[in-house]
Amino acid sequence: MTLPNQPVISVFGASQARPGDSDYEDGVACGRRLANAGFAVATGGYGGQMEAVCKGAATVGGATIGVTAPSVFPKRPGANEWVQHEIPADDLVHRIGILSSIASGFIAMPGSLGTLAELVVAWNLALVAPFADQDFGPIVTVGETWQEVVPDLIRRLQGEDLVTTVATVDEAVLYLTSELAPLH
């Protein structure tokens, strides 16, 4: 499979968001803003915010990637209609690995345990990348929950502050655009 020839932003978010919900509409805005900034988007490829981000990007001509996990979600009908490039993963760990390996940067939207798992894996990969003299893209979270959870995790785990927290999608895209300017 040939991936888009542009920087990719992996976006993590809730599968429960529905059209008309503020989280879904924020996902559409996120995908649109990222595509207009010259990024391709990658998501878990299914519904909710994953669909919303792909929809937002696709409706303005942006490239979309969905990393699905058919063996984990056999009752889901496949990637959402806005995914242009589907990459089936063997399991959730493989899925997160693919989303991490193809991305130049990351956004965690509001979500639940799956979103937290994706965020923590990206965060840990950012932490260990320098051990192998590797770079790892910037990570930004959107929303009030992450503005509470991320600093608490840093404090409790004595972790490194490798995640930027912001209130809005606009702030997240501006941050990534600034951090990744040399890629454009």
At 171 the pLDDT is 98
At 164 the pLDDT is 96
The residue ranges of every structural domain in the chain are 8-183
At 184 the pLDDT is 55
pLDDT, tens only, 115-174: 999 999 999 999 999 999 998 999 999 999 999 999 999 998 877 789 999 999 999 999
At 101 the pLDDT is 95
pLDDT, tens only, 31-51: 999 999 999 999 999 999 999
Instruction: List all residues 6 or more positions away from 167 whose beta carbon is below 8 Å from its beta carbon.
Output: 142, 143, 144, 147
Write down the architecture of domain 8-183 according to CATH: 3-Layer(aba) Sandwich (3.40)
In this structure, what are the phi and psi dihedrals at residue 107, rounded to the nearest 5 degrees?
-130, 130
At 158 the pLDDT is 79
Average pLDDT along the chain? 94
Quote the tokens at residue 168.
Answer: 């809005």
pTM: 0.95
Task: Please give the residue that has the higher pLDDT: either 77 or 150.
Answer: 150
pLDDT (average), residues 58-63:
98
**pLDDT tier at 183, thresholds 50, 70, 90:** low
**Which DSSP state fits 122?**
H
Nearest to 82 by CA among 120, 30, 145: 30
Nearest to 56 by CA among 88, 23, 87: 23
